[in-house]
Amino acid sequence: MFKGSITALITPFKGGEIDWQSFEKLVEWQIAEGTSGVVPCGTTGESPTLSHAEHHQVVERCIKIVNKRIPVIAGTGSNSTKEAIGLTLEAQKSGADAALVVAPYYNKPSQDGLLAHYKALHDATNIPIIVYNIPGRSIVDISVDTMCKMAELPRVVGIKEAHTDLGRPLAIRNRLGDGFCQLSGNDDTATAYLAQGGHGCISVTSNVAPALCAQVQSAWVKGDLKSMNEARDKLALLHAALFCEPSPAPVKYAASKLGLSTDEVRLPLVSASKSARAKVDEAMEFAGLIESASAKRAHG
């Protein structure tokens, strides 16, 4: 089962191209800091603006860098079933441990259409599939009933749920049991999701705070609520700040503050504004990721 703190990786850019050196540094740092798995080419990785060749290259390079030390869950979703199958087959061929497949966006398929989409994808591939439900971006919402029907497909092994209804993980667990993998897609409610039957979080924040995000998850498993709450509270401002403007612009700015990459994003996204940067700076200081200007002067 996939569990713990799983990072939805940013794709570092430099001069409009993928910055492979920064990408490798980021992945290695994630592993060293205790991250349980990585997701290349998710929304946080700006998959909508990657070419098909770049998409394949990012997944392939990630798998090579990781070298089986932690799971690689490749983002392979599309609003075209044929395209999603193609991307999933490429990830499968490259050796990904699973595919994260977002609900088809823009088309607004019915529940029957959603089920047919995932069944076609399942039947055309041979890799574990994690369904990604994110109504805020895809407009469609995969119902609990539909998710349970999808789970009858042998290689549909879990769900990433970016939904405000925290009753859903418990409802799914009661119907499918604890063996069906449930991962939160919302950093700000990741601990509540665990309490409701979840197994982990596919996180944006862990791009820049991997150790703290891993602490939240590992402390929960150990029953160390004091340690979990300490990490949760340190991260609270950061979770909010990293979504004060369209993601991943704020988290890329945060990554640039840590020397992990540039803050460059691809159009139609633009870099974080001055006000967003101020919020991210404050949140990073609160989490202990960077020193405040006054502290630097005191040490200086």
Nearest to residue 182, comparing CAs of 164, 197, 167? 197
Domains of the chain: 4-227 (3.20.20.70)
Taking the alpha carbons at both ends of the chain, their separation in whole angstroms is 48
pLDDT tens by residue, 91-107: 999 999 999 999 999 99
Q: Is 160 a catalytic residue?
A: yes
Contacts of 112 (CB under 8 A, 6+ apart): none
The secondary structure of residue 244, as a DSSP letter, is: S
What's the confidence (pLDDT) of residue 1? 84
Q: Looking at this protein, which amino acid is placed at residue 71?
A: P
Cα–Cα separations (whole angstroms), residue 239 to 27, 95, 102, 254: 21, 31, 22, 12
Helices 52-66 and 20-32: angle between axes, nearest 10 degrees = 40
pLDDT tens by residue, 246-265: 999 999 999 999 999 999 99
Structure tokens at 14: 């430099």
What's the confidence (pLDDT) of residue 291? 84
Structure tokens at 245: 């403007």
Q: What is the C-alpha separation between 230 and 256, in angstroms, rounded?
A: 25
Helices (H), the chain: 20-32, 52-66, 81-94, 111-124, 135-138, 144-150, 168-176, 190-195, 210-222, 225-241, 249-257, 274-286, 293-299
Nearest to residue 150, comparing CAs of 184, 176, 118, 109? 118
154-169 as b/e: b if 16+ CB within 10 A = eebbbbbbbbeebebb
What's the confidence (pLDDT) of residue 299? 55
Q: Does residue 46 surpass a pLDDT of 90?
A: yes
Q: What is the C-alpha separation between 216 and 235, in angstroms, rounded?
A: 10
pLDDT tens by residue, 131-165: 999 999 999 999 999 999 999 999 999 999 999 89
Catalytic option among 118, 132, 193, 253:
132
β-strand 73-75 against 13-14: which pairing, if any? unpaired
Catalytic option among 3, 118, 149, 160:
160
Helices 81-94 and 111-124: angle between axes, nearest 10 degrees = 30
What's the confidence (pLDDT) of residue 200? 98
